[in-house]
Amino acid sequence: MAVGEDKLPALLPVAGVRLGTVSAGIKTAGRRDLVLIELAAGSHCVGVFTRNAFCAAPVTVAREHLQQANARPRYLLVNTGNANAGTGKQGLRDARSCCDALALATGVSSAEVLPFSTGVIGEPLPVERITTALPDAIAGLDESGWADAAQGILTTDTRPKGLSVTFSVDGRNYVVTGIAKGAGMIRPNMATMLGYVATDAAVAPDVLQKILADAANLSFNRITIDGDTSTNDACMLVATGAAGNEPLQAGDDSPLQRALVDAVQEVCVGLAQGLVRDGEGASKFVTVTVNGGRTEQECLDVGFTIGHSPLVKTALFASDPNWGRLLAAIGRAGLESLDVDRVSVFLNEVLIAENGARAASYSEEQGVAAMAPEDIVIRIELDRGDASASVWTTDFSYDYVRINAEYRT
């Protein structure tokens, strides 16, 4: 079950990036579950990772490799079907073994390989299956491999997610292409379960890191499916420099930098919303917009309290305009000195509550009609400041429970 159009848009090649996707039989025989991403020499690569203290072994190793002096990763190695999380020191050895094997096969150093994993937590990584499949992955590297890679990184997702954006500055053309996966255990709190975005622009590493952090904050950090932050979250941004521009530096406020920031943000928002639309068991795509807060953070606190509420989410699944659950969620969001008489609540532009109670103009028939579409906007007006924020979430369905109850079987 998913919400909205089930069609992967055309994903444009990024000069300097090649991708290969193969089957290693990690969890399911015959399923393509291993993705190799090759970055041209001289590319810069930055990342954001999970804040979960029980972070997976590949997250630890990828961070270590990125932090090494003059780190310029040449390969990203992604497996599905096994998270290599909760696996202790053996998990670290296994992640490093995969890096070593790929480094040996490609003639780079192990530190130039970044590992990523997603799947079941607590099971040993099948290193031999992965390393045995590496020659086929290397042989399959292709600039046009984005769509296959988008499919190859999926777990419980029902469809791949990807987006390309092009733009021109001073007569030179640029592209940003990205893919992501994630359908459950989604409140990234940094990035997403797995995401890979690349551009052919030349960008200094510190600028690239800021572009990614800002884009993640406005996209992946604004979504929740179930309020759970994964052990394996990682999102990477690559700049190959193949477009030939002078590298963007800190302090630049050039048309190119502004255009690149906008393009990366557009890709990340598109991917983030795609994750929500494909949330496990989702039948609704819900935008929660909170206006009139004293700070952006308190708007986010209200938005996420609504987005995380099982009572709100189950009402959404039933298309039941149970507005009392929205008031209860707003009231427990922790806002200091909240004047409930100044709060207004809208459901797809239908005013349902004001002055601390049901709106005089509201009828149950209006509420039922507002809850019928797949796409729903819940708008909260706090009337206590100028800040605003939006988050995106889903409903909770029977299928969400089934998918997660049966996840290991």
Of 357, 323, 361, residue with least CA distance to 340: 357
Dig out the tokens for 12 from the structure: 């444009």
Specify whether the CB–CB gap between 14 and 198 falls below 8 A.
Answer: yes
User: 3-class DSSP state for residue 122?
Assistant: coil
- Residues 347, 321 contacting (CB under 8 angstroms): yes
Residues 164-171: contacts with CB under 8 Å, at least 24 apart: 164/9, 164/10, 164/11, 164/12, 164/267, 165/263, 165/266, 165/267, 166/12, 166/263, 167/259, 167/260, 167/262, 167/263, 169/255, 169/256, 169/259, 170/255, 170/256
What is the spatial distance between Cα 86 and Cα 238, in angstroms, rounded to a whole number? Answer: 28
Check the CA dihedral 318-322-325-327 and report its sign.
positive
- Which of these is catalytic: 50, 192, 231, 287? 192
Instruction: Tell how far CA 388 is from the center of its chain.
Output: 22
Compute, in degrees rounded to 10, the torsion defined by CA atoms 44, 50, 51, 53: -120
Closest of 216, 394, 392 to residue 300, by C-alpha: 392
Q: Three-class SS string for 142-195?
A: ECCCHHHHHHHCCCCCCCCEEEEEEEEECCEEEEEEEEEECCCCECCCCCCCEE
SS3 134: helix
Distances (CA, A) of 77 to 21, 46, 95, 110, 241: 10, 15, 10, 12, 21
229 is catalytic: no
Which residues are known catalytic residues? 192
